[in-house]
Structure 1
């Protein structure tokens, strides 16, 4: 199978109707913070146990098309000694991998950041692909204030995303391009919309420059929402603002938009996705790629105890099923019960 065929096959699997992507790629510091909240130490064995439980949830493949893994997890085996990529493939789920190396301050741009990890990425991608990964993810973040993000930050981060995406496609790995407009702050939904449009415009200009094939990538953006320190917007307001921005700047050639949850609660992320899809068919498949918004109930159910396996998997499947319904605009709040 040629590279183009590999890319096409992976994309088709990732954008299946009724399904979304699970982000289970938390770095060691992030997973330690999540585990601390439930009173669990973040050891390699505890991480393996928890991730093995959620990824082996019976029926998960009915609602999850792909899972973004952390490098450690990609090389691990499940509790029954099945390699994690094989475990996912047995449920029809595509294994993916987070490839960026985290963010640092952007030089000469106070208050802004840039993501690192391009050095040696081509070699790492070959290794990850041999381990079973068929898609990758790279995240850049954009802070919102009255003056941020600057054009310098937008262009610098967009360049990194585009170079990463080009490297992925060159070896047959589908890139998930994640420009996260952070929810931190007290900005209005209107301010978020303006920044989101500027960021996405910069990202697609960079993708064009690097000749990234838009048909073989997935966009993982933020929804357009007010800052977390501002009054919340209704799901309908979020839907209208988000779709308005995306219609202006996201080319129809992009097959799928899988929203990040970005600080939203599990039910809030589901309600907002449902409202967006309630507006009917769009040029792209509109789905989810949630981390905490999918996993938080399962983590609390698990609480570091293997005897809670059934409850953990039930909680995981429930949120996956609810977001699968929101994928088509058929979610209703009574389904939470």
Structure 2
């Protein structure tokens, strides 16, 4: 079973989850926003070294602590690297009190039936075994809903739940992430369908086990309250989905019990050119704003 202290922190912690899991496709944009253009590196290896340096700067900042940031989602390469001379997951938990998660999905299929399903995950068992050995608490797996297609949404939830069963079997807690595109013209309708499918899906989780859910902030405030209070759901967290930090926080704050798991909205305003003092002030402002929206 996952570490009991980590589970308690995740259930009761008054804070949010930092999404530090940009993958190969999203890393160039993340670096550009951080002030590092593509002409400043010449290989994928250099690119991943630079994004790891950014993540390490965040994780090792004195501002980044478990009293406000209760969890962090890591990219696979980050799990295999160090923060401050310790394996990343070990450092996060032992030094910061931050519960470590691992992004395990390998990207999205082409759109069909109004959704993008997850691609297959080769070597999943071995990856989950490595995660357990490295002290990871749970996983995160993302797919995307682009319209209120009932069949497509049912398929996407079924895929998420099936993968969740595989993760639970390894003693890890899965974060199921069926994102609803914030630009979907029928976003509210899609979210209503998604809620009904997720309730069926989490009902099927074995007694005594729990999953987490990472969802787009709903158009209708508190739509996901039945999931937040569901006995088989450890926590419901929100993705920023392309909203800037101010709007994401404003939308999140009216959803009681839903906490943030932001990526771009967390790193907004951070720059490689900032001094450590400037960086920590900017990061601290982001953490405080996102935590405040998460504890409503």
Could you state the TM-score of these two structures normalised by the residue count of structure 2?
Answer: 0.87
1:199 and 2:194 matched = yes
Return 5+ residue gaps in structure 1 as ranges: 226-240, 278-284, 330-337
Report the Cα distance in structure 1 between the residues aligned to 2:207 and 2:269, rounded to whole angstroms: 37
Range with bigger deviation, 64-73 or 161-170: 161-170
- Which has the higher mean CA deviation after the structures are superposed, 258-267 or 35-44? 35-44
Paired residue for 2:250, among 257, 271, 283?
271
How far apart are 1:250 and its partner, in Å? Answer: 5.9
Structure 1 segment 163-242 matched on structure 2, within 5 A: 163-185=162-184, 187=185, 191-209=186-204, 211-212=205-206, 216-225=210-219, 241-242=220-221
Q: CA separation of 1:111/1:247 partners in 2, compared to 1, >3 Å: closer, same or farther?
A: closer
> Does structure 1 conserve the Cα–Cα contact (< 8 Å) formed by 2:103 and 2:141?
yes
Task: Sort the Cα spacing of 1:87 and 1:28 in 2 relative to 1 into closer, same or farther, 3 A.
Answer: same
Deviations 1:238-286 (A, max 9, x none): xxx131x224666522232111111111111112222334xxxxxxx42
Aligned partner of residue 23 in structure 1, secondary structure: strand
In the alignment of these two chains, the number of paired residues is: 285
Structure 1 residues 7 and 174: alpha-carbon distance in aligned structure 2, compared to 1, 3 A threshold: farther
Contact 1:114 1:141 in 2 (8 A): yes
Q: What residue is the counterpart of 1:40 in the other structure?
A: 37
TM, length-normalised to structure 1: 0.77
Following superposition, the deviation at residue 198 of structure 1 comes to 0.5
- Larger-Rg structure: 1
Task: Give the structure 2 partner of residue 308 of structure 1.
Answer: 275
Q: Give the equivalent residue in structure 2 for 1:246.
A: 224
Say whether 1:65 aligns with 2:70. yes
Corresponding residue for residue 121 of structure 1: 124
RMSD (Å), alpha carbons: 2.3
Q: Which residue of 2 aligns with 1:150?
A: 149
Task: Report the equivalent of 1:23.
Answer: 19
Q: Tell me what 2:286 maps to.
A: 319
Which residue among 239, 243, 253 is the counterpart of 1:260?
239
Relative to structure 1, the CA distance from residue 314 to residue 87 in structure 2 (aligned partners, 3 Å threshold; closer, same or farther) is farther
